[in-house]
């Protein structure tokens, strides 16, 4: 009579070990990424306000461009993990190389577009005359690093699919350290100013890309996988990425609408919104780490033909997401007296900020489940459904958010609209997970 509970506990323990071993290093790597911009900001901030303003505009453009192509990591993770589960490491690494070649081609295309159009993009932000030259300089130089950044995304997906999240953590730490040292040397030592910061970041990015390539290429040679570009494989990688691109663009549209609405509410509201959004993004890193573990684990189970193992892993990760969301919500409430003064001393902004933070805290359990199910469905290669679900979510969120100013609502009402957005995502993802239609076994979906 005790065998079933003991077996159940053994399954949970195995899933817990897998989740922790993948999620903890993934969280470290995710946190390391925004440190690049923080290091640049800290160093350039001492050059002057126009330089820092220029960096802010250029960095926002670069981060947006790279985030649009995050599907390179997600789609590659799922495809590689399936082939790992099927026991075909050669095909897994061949699939990974196709993703890397796609990243290189897309990166070159972005550079070709960005170099001549940099002044136009900067002007689109309404940048001041004093900050514009610095923004254009930083954007043009840093855009040269976009191919490396996209290769890093694709190669990260390869390693995640191979169930390795430690190497990306080590590379991220090395890249951040190199970036900080190069920036200091080129900005102050060589006296290159903001251009030195951009060149230092580009050099660090190519160093990271090289480190990833050495790892992936070594694995490909060990398992006799071809390193040459394969047109059919690259097309397949691009085809798998299109639905995830639609999903990402829809999510970016949600964030842009929220910021635009906050700007209409007044200076105190937009200032408070930026602080809340920063915290929300930081919390998302912790939840996204579990989602990344979900992508790798679910893809491997489905590739191995183990549908029941995939279901059990999904259930356990949902429990992890819920528990993590509750813990983060409690942390936000407990830490708000420390967090709020750290970002602003303006009493008006503080008063606007507090109730919005409480809404974020309440919504964290929902976010925890949403992130996990998002990762599960990505790992299953269920991109078309994710794209459709996110478009539906955008359609539900947009009118609710746009009505906030007209109905006299403030920032708290806007963040309730954001919570509605997460609730819609929860319903659509939960329905899909319960239906079991995402469970398609085999080395390829």
Is residue 159 classed as helix, strand or coil in its secondary structure?
helix
* Distance separating alpha carbons of residues 165 and 50, to the nearest angstrom: 39
CB burial of residue 2 (10 Å; 0-12, 13-18, 19+): exposed
DSSP-derived 3-state class of residue 278: helix
Residue among 302, 317, 319 at smallest CA distance from 381: 302
Q: Is 103 exposed, middle or buried (0-12, 13-18, 19+ CB in 10 A)?
A: buried
Distances (CA, A) of 386 to 17, 209, 251, 369: 28, 29, 11, 15
The CB density around residue 206, as the number of other CB atoms within 10 Å, is 18
Neighbours of 137 (CB within 10 A): 21
- pLDDT tens column, 113-153: 999 999 998 887 777 788 889 989 999 999 999 999 999 99
75 and 106 Cβ atoms separated by less than 8 Å: no
- Strand runs (DSSP E) across 182-235, as ranges? none
Q: How far apart are CA 302 and CA 328, in angstroms?
A: 31
- Provide the sign of the torsion angle of the four alpha carbons 106, 28, 280, 139, taken in this order: negative
Please check whether residue 77 is in contact with residue 295, taking contact to mean a CB–CB distance below 8 angstroms. yes
In terms of Cα–Cα distance, which of 113, 134, 110 is closest to 58? 134
CA neighbor of 307 nearest in space, from 371, 253, 380: 380
Q: What is the pLDDT of residues 374-399, one digit of tens each?
A: 999 999 999 999 999 999 999 999 99
User: What length is written for the chain?
Assistant: 445
Distance CA 51, CA 333 (A): 36
| CA gap 58, 40 in Å, rounded | 12
Q: Give all strands (DSSP E) within 104-174, no chain letters.
A: none
According to the per-residue pLDDT averaged within each range, which of 4-8, 284-288, 308-312 is highest? Answer: 308-312
What pLDDT is attached to residue 1?
Answer: 40
Between residues 9 and 378, the one the model is more confident about: 378
**How far is it, in rounded angstroms, from Cα 292 to Cα 78?**
10
pLDDT tens for each residue of 245-296: 999 999 989 988 888 888 788 878 877 887 888 788 888 888 888 999 999 9
CA 130 to chain centre: 32
Q: What is the pLDDT of residue 2?
A: 44
The structure tokens listed for 111 are: 């550079």
- Separation between Cα atoms, residue 236 and residue 444, nearest integer Å: 11
Place of tokens 């902004």: 349
Q: Are 286 and 364 in contact (CB under 8 A)?
A: no
The one-character DSSP state at 230 is -
Residue 69 has pLDDT above 50, yes or no: yes
CB 319 within 8 A of CB 376: no
Average model confidence (pLDDT) for the chain? 88
Share of the chain above pLDDT 70, in %: 95
Residue 78 and residue 86 in contact, taking contact as beta carbons nearer than 8 Å: no
- What is the per-residue pLDDT across 17-38, written as a single tens digit (0 to 9) for each? 888 888 888 887 777 666 666 6
pLDDT for 12: 66
Tell me which residue has tokens 């394969």: 230
Tokens found for residue 370: 């949403």
Say if residues 329 and 365 touch (Cβ distance below 8 Å).
yes
Q: Which two tokens stand for residue 338?
A: 């420390």
């Amino acid at each position: 009579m005790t065998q079933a509970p003991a077996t159940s506990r053994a399954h949970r323990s195995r899933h817990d070990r897998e989740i922790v071993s993948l999620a903890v290093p993934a969280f470290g790597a995710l946190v390391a990424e925004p440190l690049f911009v923080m290091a640049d900001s800290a160093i350039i901030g001492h050059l002057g306000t126009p330089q820092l303003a220029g960096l802010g505009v250029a960095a926002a453009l670069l981060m947006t461009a790279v985030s649009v192509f995050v599907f390179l990591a997600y789609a590659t993770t799922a495809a590689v993990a399936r082939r790992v589960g099927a026991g075909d490491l050669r095909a897994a690494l061949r699939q990974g190389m196709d993703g890397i070649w796609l990243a290189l081609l897309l990166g070159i295309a972005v550079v070709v577009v960005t170099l001549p159009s940099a002044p136009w993009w900067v002007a689109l932000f309404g940048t001041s005359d004093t900050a514009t030259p610095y923004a254009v300089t930083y954007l043009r130089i840093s855009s040269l690093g976009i191919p490396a950044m996209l290769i890093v995304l694709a190669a990260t997906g390869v390693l995640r699919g191979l169930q390795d999240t430690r190497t990306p953590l080590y590379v991220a730490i090395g890249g951040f350290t190199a970036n900080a040292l190069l920036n200091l040397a080129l900005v102050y030592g060589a006296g290159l100013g903001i251009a030195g910061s951009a060149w230092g970041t580009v050099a660090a990015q190519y160093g990271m890309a090289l480190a990833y390539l050495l790892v992936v290429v070594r694995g490909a040679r060990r398992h006799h996988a071809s390193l040459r570009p394969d047109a059919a494989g690259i097309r397949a990688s691009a085809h798998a990425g299109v639905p995830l691109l639609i999903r990402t663009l829809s999510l970016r549209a949600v964030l842009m609408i929220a910021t635009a609405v906050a700007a209409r509410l007044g200076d105190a509201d937009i200032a408070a919104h930026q602080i809340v959004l920063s915290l929300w993004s930081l919390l998302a890193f912790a939840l996204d780490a579990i989602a990344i573990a979900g992508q790798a684990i679910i893809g491997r189970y489905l590739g191995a033909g183990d549908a029941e193992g995939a279901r059990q892993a999904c259930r356990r990760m949902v429990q992890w997401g819920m528990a993590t969301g509750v813990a983060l919500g409690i942390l936000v409430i407990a830490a708000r007296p420390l967090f709020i003064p750290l970002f602003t001393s303006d009493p008006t902004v503080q008063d606007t900020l507090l109730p919005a933070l409480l809404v974020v805290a309440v919504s964290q359990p929902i976010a925890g489940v949403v992130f996990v199910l998002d990762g599960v469905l990505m790992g299953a290669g269920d991109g078309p459904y994710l794209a459709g679900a996110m478009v539906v979510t955008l359609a539900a969120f947009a009118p609710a958010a746009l009505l906030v100013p007209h109905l006299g609502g403030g920032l708290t009402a806007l963040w309730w609209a954001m919570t509605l957005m997460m609730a819609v995502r929860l319903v659509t993802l939960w329905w899909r997970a319960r239906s079991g239609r995402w469970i398609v076994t085999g080395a390829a979906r």
